[in-house]
Amino acid sequence: METNLKYFIYARKSSEDSQRQIASVQDQINALATMAVRESLSVARLPFKEERSAKDPGRPIFNDVLDRIQAGEANALLCWDIDRLSRNPIDNGRLQWMLQKSVIKVIKTPGRAYYPEDAGLLMSIEGGRATDYVMRLSKNVKRGLNSKAMRGWRPSGGPIGYLNVGIEKGSKTIAIDPERFELVRKMWDLFLTGTYAVSKIREIAINDWHLTTLPHRKIGGKALSMSHMYNIFNDTFYYGCYPWTDPESGERKLIKGNHQPMITELEYRRAQVLLGKRGKPQPHTREFAFTGLMRCGECDSSITAEEKNQIICTACKHKFAYENKTTCPKCAADISEMSNPTILNYVYYHCTKKKDRDCSQKTVRLDDLEKQFNAILGDLTIDEDYLKLAIDYLNDKGRESGSEEKAMQVSLQSAYNNCETRLSNLSREFTSPLNSKYDLYTPEEFKKQKMELMTERERLAKEMGGTSEKFDRDLETTERVFVFCTFAQKHFNTPDLQKKRTIFGTIGSNLTLKDRKLSIERLHPYLLIENELKNQRSLLEGLEPEKEGYAERKEAAFAASIPDWLPE
């Protein structure tokens, strides 16, 4: 590894068309940052982004980069390609001179490195561009495809049931096909019953629904083939993910897409079981919502999760794990020929026992864990009807604060102006002829009084700028807490794992699991709301909801408690 090299990363767009090249600049930076980490290169500062074309000299960022290198801030350059640096004779000459004199010790790109002895090559770069055009084009296309895949859009587009949306190449997205999406979903529904063969579903789709592939200019618009049918039921895209191979590392992984899924992951897994030998084995990329958030209440080890997938044989009723199996291990019945078998999918959370191998804590099923957390959220939930009351109260409080703040600001401004006047008078009196013999102030007295007045002025300036800001922040935080308590339970009970995880970790700290019970130390705002809501429920327990005045008393109780929820 080269030592004593400090790199600047430089990225430049290849056209003045900013809309076309915004992604290109960021793609270059992402690729170069990855390369720097992979090769352990020392990068001196954040990347430089050039928005000007290199056809004419005078690029401000490029000149700044070379000036900084000349000043010794770095001695090497990292860029996507050598033509990112120079496309005109003036810039090319300066770059060649700095490389030749070893001011720049190396210019490194993903394809090769240029050293001082290669300086002469820079003079002939433009003339030799045509010879390596095909190689660079291939590299740039791979970079663009990889960037699009990492952004959550499958580069090859969507399968039947989806449409490629957009005009500009490289920026197309994927949306549902309103004509075919529901029909393909019906195909999945039939298959997941376990009573329809793939061939029968194809027959229904062609003859009854008249489903065809998406027509294009030269291809498409035809009936689905059997191989196409199996491709549909094997395609992970339908549950929201797609496989992608990283062009640099060769690593193959599943990427979560931005498109709307047609089925759930559990439905996809069931389909693979039903397909048997024709099923597609998938890499284990199961995500769990709550791992890394809880500790064991007995030994303080972290809590992890695992999934168990089983099937009950329709012939001998034997229950077994179906992964990597095509037949029942007891009676050898083919899984793909079983009629509507019972498929069981469980997620368990348990202690890792890393701190104590003898930890006695048992596993907790996901549905039990979510049930407990739902009960906690239930104690915090504010009726949507009452959220408006809370927001209106906060707005009124903000307006009241505005009036009080205005009066306070007038008072503070007056005190600040008075302090400024006293400072001015102090300086004038100290330098006046009357103080030539220090009859008014000695230098020490002047310095002391000036320091006191400056300290007072600084304090008043901070107060003028800080009083309203703190109150506004408190009101904003309180509003966010109210909104969270109103909608958290609704969002928690959706399939979105990221939402579940965010909500799970929001209301408190020190989440522990012991004896299959979840414990959370509520943060102060949520603890306050929980206690107030409990008080309200106890006050209203004796009232019958059907009786007149119940709703009004409930609303009044809620409104009266709002001030107690505000930060002190």
Contacts of 378 by beta carbon, 8 Å cutoff, 6+ apart: 489
Domains defined for the chain, CATH in brackets: 7-148 (3.40.50.1390), 152-278 (3.90.1750.20), 294-369 (no CATH), 384-561 (no CATH)
Element (H, E) at 518: strand 517-522
Of the candidates 430, 432, 461, which has an alpha carbon nearest to the alpha carbon of residue 444? 430
Q: Which residues pair with 76 in a beta bridge?
A: 7, 106
Contacts of 44 by beta carbon, 8 Å cutoff, 6+ apart: 6, 7, 8, 73, 74
What is the full per-residue pLDDT of the chain (568 aa) written as tens digits?
Answer: 466 899 999 998 765 444 444 457 888 888 899 999 999 899 988 889 887 765 667 788 999 999 999 999 999 999 988 777 876 777 878 888 898 889 999 999 988 888 888 777 665 664 455 345 556 667 777 888 888 888 899 988 899 999 988 877 667 899 999 999 999 999 999 998 877 888 899 999 999 999 999 988 778 889 999 999 999 999 999 999 999 988 877 888 888 999 999 999 888 988 888 887 565 555 555 678 898 889 999 999 999 999 888 889 988 999 988 777 878 889 988 887 787 788 888 899 999 999 999 999 999 999 999 999 999 998 888 887 777 776 766 666 555 555 556 667 677 778 878 888 888 888 888 777 787 777 777 888 888 888 888 888 888 777 776 555 555 666 677 778 888 888 889 999 988 888 898 899 888 888 999 999 999 988 877 887 787 777 766 665 555 555 444 455 545 555 555 555 554 4
DSSP state, residue 153:
-
Amino acid at 262: M
Contacts of 117 by beta carbon, 8 Å cutoff, 6+ apart: none
**What is the SS3 assignment for 77?**
strand
What CA–CA distance (Å, rounded) separates 387 from 377?
A: 16
Q: Which two tokens stand for residue 198?
A: 């793939």
**Beta-strand runs (E) in 275-329:** 294-296, 303-312, 319-321
Contacts of 563 by beta carbon, 8 Å cutoff, 6+ apart: 393
Contacts of 406 by beta carbon, 8 Å cutoff, 6+ apart: none
> Over the Cα atoms of the chain, what is R_g?
34
